[in-house]
Structure 1
Amino acid sequence: MSTQNFTYSFTTLKSAHEVFKILMTPRKWWTGLYNEIITGSSEKVDDEFIFTAGDGAHHSVQKLIEVIPNEKIVWEVINSNLTF
Protein backbone atom coordinates (compact mmCIF):
# COMPACT_ATOMS: atom_id res chain seq x y z
CA MET A 1 0.00 0.00 0.00
CA SER A 2 1.41 3.39 -0.91
CA THR A 3 0.87 6.63 0.96
CA GLN A 4 0.06 9.80 -0.93
CA ASN A 5 0.03 13.24 0.65
CA PHE A 6 -1.62 16.41 -0.55
CA THR A 7 -0.62 19.95 0.34
CA TYR A 8 -2.20 23.15 -0.95
CA SER A 9 -0.95 26.72 -0.53
CA PHE A 10 -2.43 30.07 -1.55
CA THR A 11 -2.09 33.79 -0.96
CA THR A 12 -4.91 36.05 0.25
CA LEU A 13 -5.53 39.45 1.79
CA LYS A 14 -7.68 37.85 4.50
CA SER A 15 -6.22 37.46 7.97
CA ALA A 16 -4.95 34.06 9.12
CA HIS A 17 -7.84 33.97 11.61
CA GLU A 18 -10.47 34.56 8.89
CA VAL A 19 -9.00 31.89 6.59
CA PHE A 20 -8.59 29.39 9.41
CA LYS A 21 -12.20 29.88 10.53
CA ILE A 22 -13.48 29.10 7.01
CA LEU A 23 -11.17 26.12 6.47
CA MET A 24 -12.22 24.50 9.75
CA THR A 25 -15.76 24.26 8.32
CA PRO A 26 -15.56 22.24 5.06
CA ARG A 27 -19.25 23.00 4.30
CA LYS A 28 -18.16 26.60 3.66
CA TRP A 29 -15.69 25.75 0.89
CA TRP A 30 -16.15 22.17 -0.34
CA THR A 31 -19.63 22.45 -1.83
CA GLY A 32 -21.46 23.83 -4.81
CA LEU A 33 -20.53 21.78 -7.88
CA TYR A 34 -21.62 18.13 -7.65
CA ASN A 35 -24.48 17.80 -5.15
CA GLU A 36 -22.06 17.48 -2.24
CA ILE A 37 -23.28 16.24 1.12
CA ILE A 38 -21.11 16.76 4.19
CA THR A 39 -22.09 15.21 7.51
CA GLY A 40 -20.23 15.11 10.78
CA SER A 41 -17.94 17.67 12.31
CA SER A 42 -14.46 19.15 11.96
CA GLU A 43 -14.11 21.33 15.02
CA LYS A 44 -11.71 19.49 17.31
CA VAL A 45 -9.06 16.77 17.07
CA ASP A 46 -10.60 13.32 16.44
CA ASP A 47 -13.75 14.77 14.84
CA GLU A 48 -14.74 13.06 11.58
CA PHE A 49 -16.78 14.22 8.63
CA ILE A 50 -18.10 12.37 5.60
CA PHE A 51 -17.99 13.92 2.14
CA THR A 52 -20.16 12.46 -0.62
CA ALA A 53 -20.52 13.98 -4.10
CA GLY A 54 -21.39 13.24 -7.70
CA ASP A 55 -24.21 10.85 -6.83
CA GLY A 56 -21.71 8.60 -5.04
CA ALA A 57 -18.74 9.06 -7.39
CA HIS A 58 -16.80 10.43 -4.42
CA HIS A 59 -17.30 9.19 -0.88
CA SER A 60 -14.68 9.78 1.79
CA VAL A 61 -14.31 10.03 5.54
CA GLN A 62 -11.84 12.54 6.95
CA LYS A 63 -10.57 12.66 10.54
CA LEU A 64 -9.15 15.84 12.02
CA ILE A 65 -5.79 14.77 13.45
CA GLU A 66 -3.92 18.04 14.06
CA VAL A 67 -4.84 21.68 14.62
CA ILE A 68 -2.54 24.61 15.29
CA PRO A 69 -4.90 27.61 15.48
CA ASN A 70 -4.43 30.10 12.64
CA GLU A 71 -1.55 28.02 11.22
CA LYS A 72 -2.25 24.39 10.39
CA ILE A 73 -5.09 21.89 9.85
CA VAL A 74 -4.43 18.21 9.11
CA TRP A 75 -7.17 15.80 8.07
CA GLU A 76 -6.47 12.13 7.49
CA VAL A 77 -8.59 10.32 4.92
CA ILE A 78 -9.55 7.20 6.84
CA ASN A 79 -11.89 5.71 4.23
CA SER A 80 -12.62 6.51 0.61
CA ASN A 81 -14.38 5.18 -2.44
CA LEU A 82 -13.57 7.12 -5.59
CA THR A 83 -15.04 5.93 -8.88
CA PHE A 84 -13.20 8.38 -11.11
Structure 2
Amino acid sequence: MGCIPPEPGFLEGLRYLCDQNDTLLIFDEVMTGFRLAAGGAQQLLGVDADIVTFGKVIGGGLPVGAFAAREEIMDFWHLKDLFIKQVL
Protein backbone atom coordinates (compact mmCIF):
# COMPACT_ATOMS: atom_id res chain seq x y z
CA MET A 1 0.00 0.00 0.00
CA GLY A 2 3.02 2.28 0.21
CA CYS A 3 2.76 3.02 3.93
CA ILE A 4 5.67 2.67 6.32
CA PRO A 5 4.54 0.82 9.47
CA PRO A 6 5.59 2.29 12.82
CA GLU A 7 8.26 0.62 14.93
CA PRO A 8 6.85 -1.69 17.64
CA GLY A 9 5.87 0.34 20.69
CA PHE A 10 6.01 3.71 18.91
CA LEU A 11 2.26 4.37 18.81
CA GLU A 12 1.80 3.11 22.36
CA GLY A 13 4.51 5.54 23.47
CA LEU A 14 2.89 8.33 21.50
CA ARG A 15 -0.48 7.58 23.12
CA TYR A 16 1.19 7.68 26.54
CA LEU A 17 2.90 11.02 25.83
CA CYS A 18 -0.36 12.54 24.58
CA ASP A 19 -2.19 11.35 27.69
CA GLN A 20 0.54 12.68 30.00
CA ASN A 21 0.55 16.09 28.28
CA ASP A 22 -3.22 16.43 27.81
CA THR A 23 -2.76 16.47 24.03
CA LEU A 24 -5.01 14.96 21.36
CA LEU A 25 -3.67 12.07 19.31
CA ILE A 26 -4.74 12.43 15.67
CA PHE A 27 -4.41 9.63 13.10
CA ASP A 28 -4.46 10.33 9.37
CA GLU A 29 -6.26 7.24 8.03
CA VAL A 30 -6.62 8.53 4.46
CA MET A 31 -4.41 5.69 3.18
CA THR A 32 -5.21 3.02 5.78
CA GLY A 33 -8.83 3.62 6.82
CA PHE A 34 -11.06 0.59 6.13
CA ARG A 35 -8.26 -1.06 4.14
CA LEU A 36 -6.18 -2.69 6.87
CA ALA A 37 -9.15 -3.46 9.13
CA ALA A 38 -12.73 -2.27 9.55
CA GLY A 39 -11.47 0.15 12.21
CA GLY A 40 -8.43 1.19 10.21
CA ALA A 41 -4.83 1.06 11.35
CA GLN A 42 -5.78 2.02 14.89
CA GLN A 43 -7.81 -1.19 15.23
CA LEU A 44 -5.08 -3.30 13.67
CA LEU A 45 -2.33 -1.73 15.80
CA GLY A 46 -4.39 -1.56 19.00
CA VAL A 47 -3.99 2.18 19.69
CA ASP A 48 -7.04 4.45 19.78
CA ALA A 49 -6.69 7.97 18.46
CA ASP A 50 -8.74 10.90 19.72
CA ILE A 51 -9.43 12.20 16.20
CA VAL A 52 -9.20 10.24 12.93
CA THR A 53 -9.28 11.57 9.36
CA PHE A 54 -10.60 9.56 6.41
CA GLY A 55 -10.69 10.08 2.67
CA LYS A 56 -10.44 8.35 -0.70
CA VAL A 57 -11.96 4.98 0.22
CA ILE A 58 -15.13 6.47 1.74
CA GLY A 59 -15.92 8.35 -1.47
CA GLY A 60 -15.89 5.37 -3.82
CA GLY A 61 -13.73 7.32 -6.27
CA LEU A 62 -15.27 10.71 -5.53
CA PRO A 63 -13.29 13.43 -3.72
CA VAL A 64 -14.68 13.05 -0.21
CA GLY A 65 -13.12 13.47 3.21
CA ALA A 66 -14.35 13.05 6.76
CA PHE A 67 -13.17 12.95 10.32
CA ALA A 68 -14.32 11.15 13.44
CA ALA A 69 -13.57 11.76 17.09
CA ARG A 70 -14.48 10.65 20.57
CA GLU A 71 -17.96 11.78 21.61
CA GLU A 72 -16.74 14.40 24.09
CA ILE A 73 -14.57 15.99 21.39
CA MET A 74 -17.40 16.12 18.86
CA ASP A 75 -19.76 17.57 21.49
CA PHE A 76 -17.24 20.29 22.31
CA TRP A 77 -17.88 22.03 18.99
CA HIS A 78 -21.68 22.19 19.44
CA LEU A 79 -22.06 22.36 15.68
CA LYS A 80 -25.53 21.77 14.29
CA ASP A 81 -24.74 22.24 10.62
CA LEU A 82 -26.25 19.68 8.23
CA PHE A 83 -22.83 18.32 7.30
CA ILE A 84 -21.60 17.84 10.87
CA LYS A 85 -22.68 14.86 13.00
CA GLN A 86 -25.84 14.29 10.96
CA VAL A 87 -26.96 12.03 8.16
CA LEU A 88 -27.44 13.73 4.80
Q: Name the TM tier (shorter chain).
A: under 0.3
Pick the structure with greater CA Rg. 2
Q: TM-score, normalised by structure 1?
A: 0.25
* TM-score normalised according to structure 2 size: 0.24
Q: Which has the higher strand share?
A: 1
**Structure ranking higher in helix proportion:** 2
